[in-house]
Structure 1
Amino acid sequence: MRKLPLVFALFCFLQAVVAQDYFPKNDGVKEKNTNYTALTNATIYVTPTQVIKQGTLLIQEGKVIDAGSNVSIPENTVTVDLQGKFIYPSFIDPYTGFGVDLPKRAERNGRSAQYEPSREGFYWNDHIMPENSAIGKFEYDKMKAKEYREAGFGVVNTHIADGIARGTGAVIALNDKGGDAQRILEDESGQFFSFERSIASRQSYPSSLMGSMALLRQMYWDSEWYAKGNVDTKDRSLEALLENKSLPAFFEAGDKGNALRADAIGDRFNINYIIVGGGNEYESIDDIKETQARFIMPVDFPDAYDVSDPYAAKYIALEDMRAWNQAPGNLKALSDKGIPFALTTHKLKKPTEFGEKLRKALTYGLDKTKALEALTTVPASYLNMSGEIGSLQKGRYANFLVTSGDIFDKKTTLYENWVQGEKHVINSLEQRDLNGKYSLTAGTQSFDLEISGGADKPKSKVSKGSEELKSTMTYSDNWMTLKFSDEKSGKTWRATALVPDKGSQISGRIVMPDGAEGNFTAKRTGDAASKDENEEKATSKPEVVAVTYPNVGYGFSQKPRQTDMLFRNATVWTSEDAGVLENTDVLVRDGKIASIGKNLNAGRATVIDATGKHLTAGIIDEHSHIAALSINESGQNSSAEVSIEDVVDPEDINIYRNLGGGVTSIQILHGSANPIGGRSAIIKLKWGEDAEGLIYDNSPKFIKFALGENVKQSNWQSFSRFPQTRMGVEQVFVNYFNRAKAYDAKKKSGEPYRYDEEMEVLAEILNGERFISSHSYVQSEINMLMKVAEQFGFRVNTFTHILEGYKVADKMKEHGVGASTFSDWWAYKYEVNDAIPYNAAIMANVGLTVAINSDDREMSRRLNQEAAKTVKYGGMSEEEAWKMVTINPAKLLHIDDRVGSIAEGKDADLVLWTDHPLSVAAKAEKTIIEGTVYFDLETDKKKREAIQAERSKLIGMMLDEKNGGGKTRAPEGKDRINFECETIN
């Protein structure tokens, strides 16, 4: 054990808890008890795979001396005969907050601080607290310890469950009879991390998942810089981080996607996080396997929904129904893939719920040996304490359970939980298992009695003839009480008895319905009845619906594959100089457009008759906010260090809906909460792929800037962050680019420099390596940003929204910037009052590259119709209008060499329309990306039917669950956020 903090050690001394050897004893005898205890004739699980029948466990002074079938028993030994009983190592919970209170929640008072660290001499961000120590705030909780022991746990790893970097944890033995000096097995068990802000801090940064990720990365960069001695001042946070870097690192991810995100950060900084999962890892099991990480898994499987009300049931998402059905199979999925995991009570309301939840996982096929390993040897290895806990090998702590049978059997009684050689009684060993059928005689009357449920939770069933009476039973300290009533007559019998150690008869006293007292006897006549229907259902393997890709409605049962195809006799909109080609063939081979012409040879390609139909390049949305978990990092006026690529959400149903509207590529932009926003993600809508599979390979680098009302926060009356005026916005740009210029110069000089992710991104802009897409409305600000850019020697790439672009189109052309705008949105806020629907046509006529974008999940599904509006407003030709949602946004995003038009050699990102693509009657019949069909109109109809059938099946299963006495919860809909530029979540 590491040295305890001085104050804590002094506290232990003054409290006179179980003392060290050198502490004087002021009362009683001073002779040390060196007797042995031998537990004999038991089935002993020394480890999950080393089992001894009729074995002996010998312990002394809290440690295992020996375990085997031929153990030599010393003379000074207390022997306990456990004939027919089982001994298991006590469980270890590697992730708890036991005995450590959370800090008090900070009062916001309507505003939050951008900076203002509350701690002098620590890291600048209050959500980073690696200097915290759980042991300094630990207070043993006897009531909670009792709950853990009743669930089979003897040791827990605890920590302060608050903040992003949370400090060190401690390993605690749940020994009521010892003191803290004895209980604390390790006072620095590991470092703890998460993506969650501290509840105790008013600092507004980070305000998003991508912000938390960026902050973590910067913390590690700063620690490397600090470790090299480049900082003159003291930073106790970074010193603690560095001092404890050899400890195990635990990361609470809480979700399969966050597990991958945490692992990516760990890989970058050579840290092997032990990841606390979320229970949905089975949905991305191959990706989870590839992390090669170790996991800690909760068992908080969701309860079934109460779907009795068919109208309320409609609001439950299919993915939530599936989670109830599929989640208990998560542990088996991990085990089958060879992914190491330990188990935890984390997320359960009480540790006593653990056994029931784990038994459910066992019915889904989890191997019992794997389960026992996940509760003993595996968590011990995570804590680097295999030589002390987790098994009953020689020299380990005497932490073990005494049970009536298989530890995972519902009917098994847990009698004792020994911790550090101290016995904690859960159920008396003297108590018998009374399960069986009895003939009960009370006075002149006879009844049939059946007892089930085991010694710890017996259940009674009393009947007279064919009539069952209402009954209740308790059994504690070998005293049995039984009450049964005839509800029709109102008569009640009350009986009590001391259960004998042996024999088939129980005798005691009974109070009759008339108040008279007498004797009763209950003579055993046979075994209890076989499992009832509900119990059989609870222990039988359930039917599990198939996982899809993604595992939501409209997912694929198998990921779609690339195929060669020939579109025969289509009207082809090339978005090239060739224009629209009638009765033309397009051949797709190996995901590329191989040939365009008439009467092409299909070869082995699948022929698609496109007669009377229109084939176009896939629509590209330059400005979207779908498929992301967060959009704004609003905590600072510059968030260049954050990246939407970190938070791409491949399960967003809007991906599929966009495919149904012919969209194949989008730029997911950061929001407009700050002048300098975050980096973009340019993705292809490959429904069914993971986040990495969506992002363009060799993706062009973009960042979102913003002007106007949002960045100065006039929309939400915030007065705690600079800038507050449009003048201030300009100064933010100038200041940051001056700093970036100095940073870049130092980096290029070869001198040592502190790696700063924010400055790295801004330096990329100065060096022409990253492009700006700027949210904009008012002409004065549009001019301002172009002048700032020219001052620093670069060009703005795109003005998006740009609703006053028609006023400054000539200056924009001179600057060399493109435009991505709405077709006809205007007057939805003050700075849009001068917007006109002719904006796109005017800018195009001046010679700008103009695209029509959505900025909205609904509009993005009908961008073909939005493009058509430029024909009405401004007289654009149909071909030029169509280019505004295909080749023009491709040019703005610097991906026009790959997509945006139908040309030989380009990616086969295509849409087959049922009608003229600019028509409101047109439907996307097929949407294809790189030769793979991701949306098909006929398949969509089948998916809808399959979804309805699956919902009906799951509803039926949930009704069975409720009728069988299972737990249910109220139906609830899923609150889906419609992300837009202004969305703060």
Structure 2
Amino acid sequence: MRKLFLTAVLAWGIAQVGWSQVTFPRNGVYDERSGLYAFTNATIIVDSKTTLDGATLLIRNGRIEAVGKTVSIPAGTVVTDLKGKRIYPSLVDIDSDYGMPALQRNAPGGGRGAPQYDSNKKGAFNWNQAIQPETEASAVFKANVPQALELRKLGFGAVVTHPHDGIARGSSALVTLADDRENLVMIRERVSGHYSFSKGTSTQTYPNSPMGAVALLRQTYYDADWYKKAGKTAEANISLAAFNQLQSLPSVFEVPDKLGVLRADKIGEEFGVQYIIKSAGDEYQRLDEVKATGASLIVPVNFPQAFDVEDAWDADNVTLAEMKHWEMAPANPAMLAKSGIPFALTTANLRNKTDFWANLRKAIDYGLTEQQALAALTTTPAQLLKIDNEVGSLKTDLLANFIITSDNLFSPDNVILENWIRGKQYVYSDKNTPDLRGTYALTIGDRSNLKLTITGKPGKPEYQVLVDTVKVTPKISVANDLLSIQLQLDKKQPGVATPGTTRLTGYREGTSLKGEGELPDGKTVKWTAVLSQPFSMTATAKGDSAKKTAPEYGKLLFPFVGMGNLEKPKAQTLLIRNATVWTNEKDGILPTTDVLVQNGKIAQIGKNLTAPAGAQTIDGTGKHLTNGIIDEHSHIALYSINEGGQSSSAEVRMSDVVNSEDINIYRQLAGGVTTSQLLHGSANSIGGQSAIVKLKWGESPQEMMLKGADGFIKFALGENVKQSNWGDAVRIRFPQTRMGVEQVYFDHFTRAREYDNAWKAYNALSTKEKARAVPPRRDVELDALAEILNKKRFITCHSYVQSEINMLMKVADSLGFKVNTFTHILEGYKVADKMAKHGVGGSTFADWWAYKMEVKDAIPYNAALMARAGVTVSINSDDAEMARRLNQEAAKAVEYGGISEEDAWKMVTLNPAKLLHLDNKLGSIRAGKDADLVLWNNNPLAIYARPEKTIIDGTVYFDAQDEDRKHDELQKERARLIQKMLTAKAGGAQTQRPTFRRQRMFHCEDVEGAMAEGEERQAEK
């Protein structure tokens, strides 16, 4: 028994030590209490699925000891009766920067200013400033009283906070919003690892593009794996060690838009990481693709303001996409919930935190249920980051974080009375203040023609007295059951500065108010206010289950821009009859011929073909049918095209930055283009890896990618790579001469061969030998160059001057690889014989010249002269506008050089297919090839030619007959939304001024990224 008693005493002592702050000496009397509180007769919302009526919540020492209807209340407990009140778990925000130091943004390196190639961060850290996994929020956290107060008033009790800076951002910390020392508010020091595509405050030149950010993060994953296995013996790297430690935590990835969700998930798939993705609030536009990632989301409620479109010219600067997003963004949470995508809500990105509840209630109006909203603010965020044993619900042993409300939390009339954080009380409205709302018959002395109306919220009542037909606003203060009233009953009298003030004092008795007062003339009177009509709440405010008709809004578009489709086009069985068919095969041009398309392929070519059941028949009489145009050199549909931070950017991939929302996809379909090679620019000697896409308007970037295509990469020669026109401040990066360009190739391919040999030697080891050996460090840049040496990736090289063209062919011959294509190649006619001998193709312009010194020797006969020398020649665009008329560019080869019409047509169809190694499936009309077809109203080389239908894989993606309807619908939708915005402004809604942003049309030399992160991207109006 004595032993049991001592054990109990010891346990009690440990509990007291845990509660008292023995590590912090106190100047004064120690008053240690158990913090024992009970809240009885309340409606307790334990979590989004569990509600207890007439229940008790018992807390001790800052944690929940019991919750339920039969809780025993120990002696000495402070008991509060909360009959008529509700208790909810305090809200949890898992994407916060609360308590983090302000980010110091300095002028970035790179661009047209002086570049910064090395990190400015001193110490054994990563080579790149944007990679800072060693950052620990717990080490830099400092409680911020004003920020905490702002969040507490909204109902939040705890946040997961981290510095929002860099691509690898380090670890977050779970902290409460109590006004206490940092060691008391911090609950968990390391909660989650954080990542993004933004380099943040880094002033280092690399990366200067979204694709560079992807490559840098991928390389960091591989470097960290190497460091864990073997690298620690080669170097000390605090960043890589910290990066490895992050992998045991939930990983959160912040993205700038809906396509960023898909981009981040692609990285996660490569490294076996399922990211929790902090989205941008526009993911409803790609719900199917977002759901397929399997990712849970952290979703902001920063809905855009309406645009001020009163001025018609201003309205013209607002795109349809922007208008529709304004209307549909509040429906995003409801649409995610309906799709079954798990998500938490966050206050992040709000212009003002005070907009939170208004925006959340708007989301509920748009279909989000209150249960879903509560889960997204409590249990879901806690579960996502595995902190649900601390916060997120009102269960035993969790932190005593809860809010006391006057009503349903989501009611507009609700008042958050108190917010308790770790057992500490924060009062925002007196919960004992009586709810006096209603309509009263007011009598003051002998005046009985008065009516007192009390509306508003319980904690913020609004008063009005009706004197006959005159409305008077009194001043009323309430303290428990006592009232003090001041009002002016009479009109202003002549010669009197102000009407007299009647002063009343009284109290509440049942449902009536009564007391005594003094009139302006000093006469004492009695007064009463008898309740005649109780206050009636709105349907939405009155109950949790109250329903309200959701606002109507327009339909989704695929893609979410003007000229988008209401549904994604579907493949069909098509029979095109009686057309003039340009086969690009030995059959040549076939008059009055039928072509049957089935299952996305060309099934038959002939005359009088029989249409299968269900086939759509298209009359091609008097029209010309060709395969789709293939643009070998394009820069459309990309968020950026140059990673210019280093001389070689072989590690970057254009597939990482495909923008499926680019209106130029649609415009080029209207010009007959069906396939494009999206190339890196020419900012460096070795550029990035190409993306070959089919222009499937409305599909995701992944669905646009041409499956099974060989890999290509962009190289460059000449002025751009040696930065001739970048200014003196930039002349730091090697190479600065054309001779240096040659050396770049020798250096990089020598390293790539050594790297490749090291991997081949390692892969040749037996299983036992591999277990003892150290694998080489994976290098994504050298991977791409090794693929060239192994004939798995092929070079398209930006070129102008014959001397450099000869140089690269000699470098290739000496190092054992081939150049696949010289693009631009405006002096190709001078070295066409050498090109033919090397086996390299030429992708050129028809008649561009004189736009810089390198092209002063360009001639319009270039394509014809190269073709006659045996070079495979294609004509490309390198320009979003020119790609819409590549058929006419091909026709110039007939004018300049006498090329036959068929051979000229092949320069934009079959020949680029050959250069891209796709002529087995594209480039001609032959049974078994992809059904990428264009039906023209005229000879395709004529200036009058216009595509009537553009078909990809048997799916009609452009139909001229549909153009007028789409334009009409676009204008009607714009007009509807403009009227809705005008109505919103007239109703008092805040608006934003339209800003004109011209869409960027990229060319080879453009170095800047496409957009600042988070900026609305320009789309077709």
Q: TM-score, normalised by structure 1?
A: 0.93
Q: Given that residues 35 and 76 in structure 1 are in contact (C-alpha distance below 8 angstroms), is that contact kept between their aligned partners in structure 2?
A: no
State the match for 1:550 in structure 2: 559
Q: What displacement does 1:764 show?
A: 0.7
Do residues 568 (structure 1) and 571 (structure 2) align?
A: no
Deviation at 1:576, TM superposition (A): 2.0
- Matched residue of 1:94: which SS? strand
Q: Secondary structure at the match of 2:879?
A: coil
Q: Distance in 2 between matches of 1:661 and 1:349?
A: 43
Residue aligning to 1:244: 246
SS of the residue aligned with 1:819? strand
Q: Shift of the alpha carbon at 1:208?
A: 0.8
Equivalent-residue separation in structure 1 for 2:450 and 2:553 (angstroms): 43
Instruction: Please give the alpha-carbon distance, in whole angstroms, between the structure 2 residues aligned to 1:704 and 1:635.
Output: 15
Counterpart contact for 1:456–1:475, Cα < 8 Å: no
Cα distance in 2 for residues equivalent to 1:418 and 1:26: 24
1:232 to 206, 209, 234: 234
Residue pairs, 1:685-696, within 5 angstroms = 685-696=695-706
Q: Which runs of 5+ in 2 are unaligned?
A: 1-16, 763-772, 1010-1021
Per-residue CA deviation, residues 28-56 of structure 1 (Å, 9 max, x unaligned), is: 44352125211111100112212110111
What is the identity, as a one-letter code, of the residue corresponding to 2:398? R
Superposed CA deviations along residues 420-457 of structure 1, whole A, max 9, x for unmatched, are 11100111113333433345567869554543331344
Give 2:744's aligned residue. Answer: 732
Q: Corresponding residue for 2:352?
A: 350
Describe the SS at the equivalent of 1:935.
strand
Structure 1 residue 779 corresponds to structure 2 residue 802: yes
**Counterpart-to-counterpart distance in 1, 2:395 and 2:630:** 64
The aligned counterpart of 1:580 is 589
Matched to 1:346, the amino acid is A
Counterpart of 1:268 in structure 2 is 270
Alpha-carbon distance in 1 for matches of 2:134, 2:868: 61
Indicate the RMSD between aligned Cα atoms, in angstroms.
2.9
1:202 maps to 203
Structure 2 residue matching 1:347: 3-state secondary structure: coil
Secondary structure of the corresponding residue to residue 283 of structure 1: helix
1:265-304 pair list within 5 angstroms: 265-304=267-306
Residues 505 and 517 of structure 2 are in contact (CA less than 8 Å); yes or no, is this contact kept in structure 1? no
* Distance in 1, Cα, partners of 2:802 & 2:357: 66
Aligned to 1:832: 855
Question: Partners in 1 of 2:901 and 2:688 — Cα distance?
Answer: 35
Post-superposition Cα deviations, 1:659-700, rounded to whole Å, max 9, x if no partner, equal 111110000000111110000000101111111100011111
Deviations 1:925-976 (A, max 9, x none): 0000111111001112111111112112222222222222222222234442
1:71 Cα offset (Å)? 1.2
Task: Give the Cα–Cα distance (whole angstroms) in 2 for the partners of residues 865 and 364 of structure 1.
Answer: 50
Show the counterpart of 2:132.
129
1:338 deviates by 1.9
- 3-state SS of 2:457 partner: coil
In the TM superposition, 1:695-774 aligns within 5 A as 695-717=705-727, 718-750=730-762, 752-774=775-797
Q: Kindly report which structure 2 residues correspond to 1:923-962, keeping only aligned pairs within 5 A, or say none.
A: 923-962=946-985
User: Does the CA contact (< 8 Å) of 2:584 and 2:910 recur in 1?
Assistant: yes
Distance 2:130 2:489 in 1: 60
Paired positions, count: 967
Letter in 2 for 1:931: G
Answer with 509-518 or 970-979: which moved more: 509-518
Matches within 5 A, 1:381-420: 381-420=383-422
Give the aligned residue type for 1:734.
F
CA distance in 2, matches of 1:482, 1:902: 90
In the TM superposition, what whole-angstrom CA distance separates every residue of 1:158-207 from its partner, at most 9, and x where no partner exists?
A: 1011011111111111111x3222111011112111111031x3211111
Query: In structure 2, what is the Cα distance between the partners aligned to 1:486 and 1:923?
Result: 80
Q: Could you tell me how far apart the structure 2 residues matched to 1:484 and 1:732 are?
A: 88
How has the CA–CA distance of structure 1 residues 587 and 433 changed in structure 2, closer, same or farther, with 3 Å as cutoff? same
| 1:143 partner amino acid | P
Maintained 8 Å contact 2:442/2:450: yes
Check if 1:913 corresponds to 2:916.
Answer: no
Residue 151 (1) aligns with residue 169 (2) = no
What one-letter code is carried by the residue in structure 1 that aligns with 2:586?
D
How far off is 1:351 after superposition? 2.8
Q: Of residues 909, 912, 931 in structure 2, which corresponds to 1:886?
A: 909
> In the aligned structure 1, how far is the partner of 2:114 from the partner of 2:160?
36
Q: Pick from 518, 521, 532: which aligns with 1:525?
A: 532
Partner of 2:192: 190
Q: Does 1:174 align with 2:182?
A: no
Give the partner amino acid of 1:222: D
Greater shift in the superposed pair: 960-969 or 852-861: 960-969
State whether structure 2 residue 897 is matched by structure 1 residue 896.
no
Distance 1:958 1:535, change over 3 A: farther
Structure 2 length-normalised TM: 0.90
Contact 2:649 / 2:687 at 8 angstroms: preserved in 1? yes
* Pair 1:711–1:28, CA change in 2 (3 A): same
Q: 1:154 offset after TM fit, Å?
A: 0.3
Q: Residue type matched to 1:680 in 2?
A: S
**Which stretch of structure 1 is more off in the superposition, 487-496 or 315-324?**
487-496
Residue 525 of structure 1 aligns to which amino acid in structure 2?
S
Q: Secondary structure at the match of 2:142?
A: coil
SS in 1 for 2:989: coil
Question: 2:516 and 2:807 mapped to 1: Cα distance?
Answer: 95
Whole-angstrom distance in 2 between the partners of 1:57 and 1:492: 52
Given the superposition, is the C-alpha separation of residues 540 and 787 from structure 1 closer, same or farther in structure 2, using an over 3 Å criterion?
Answer: same
The equivalent of 1:14 in structure 2 is none
Corresponding residue of 1:4: none
Residue 453 of structure 1: aligned partner = 456
CA distance in 2, matches of 1:494, 1:804: 95
Q: 1:401 to 1:937 in 2, by over 3 A?
A: same
Q: Is the 8 A contact 1:773 1:799 kept in 2?
A: yes
Contact 1:626–1:654 (Cα < 8 Å) also in 2: yes
Q: How does 1:461-610 map to 2 (within 5 A)?
A: 500=507, 503-505=510-512, 524-528=531-535, 540-604=549-613, 605-610=615-620
Residues 224-263 of structure 1: CA deviation (Å, up to 9, x unaligned): 1111123422100111112232122111123221112112
1:790 aligns with 2:813: yes
In the alignment, structure 1 residue 617 sits paired with structure 2 residue 624? no
Where does residue 433 of structure 1 map in the other structure? 435
Q: For 1:334 and 1:636, how far apart are their aligned partners in 2?
A: 41
SS of the counterpart of 1:453? Answer: strand
Call closer, same or farther: CA 1:116–1:23 in 2, change over 3 Å.
closer
| Residue 267 (structure 1) shift | 1.9
| Structure 2 CA distance for aligned equivalents of residues 856 and 534 of structure 1 | 57
Q: 827-836 or 537-546, which moves further after superposition? A: 537-546
AA in 2 matched with 1:829 = K
- Change over 3 Å in CA distance of 1:769–1:88 after alignment to 2: same
Check whether the contact 1:586–1:593 (CA below 8 A) recurs between aligned residues. Answer: yes
Q: Quote the residue 2:62 is aligned against.
A: 62
Deviates most, 598-607 or 529-538: 529-538
Unpaired runs of 5+ in structure 1? 1-16
Distance 1:974 1:107, change over 3 A: closer
Give the conservation status (yes or no) of the 8 Å contact 2:419–2:426.
yes
Contact 1:574/1:580 (CA < 8 Å) preserved in 2?
Answer: yes
Partner residue, 2:45? 45
Task: Give the 3 Å change call, closer, same or farther, for CA 944–434 of structure 1 in structure 2.
Answer: farther
One-letter amino acid of the structure 2 residue matched with residue 51 of structure 1 = T
Aligned partner letter, 2:76 = N
Alpha carbons of 1:359 and 1:483: their partners in 2 closer, same or farther (altered >3 Å)? farther
Residue-by-residue CA offset, 1:257-288 (whole Å, 9 max, x unaligned): 11121122112112222111111111111221
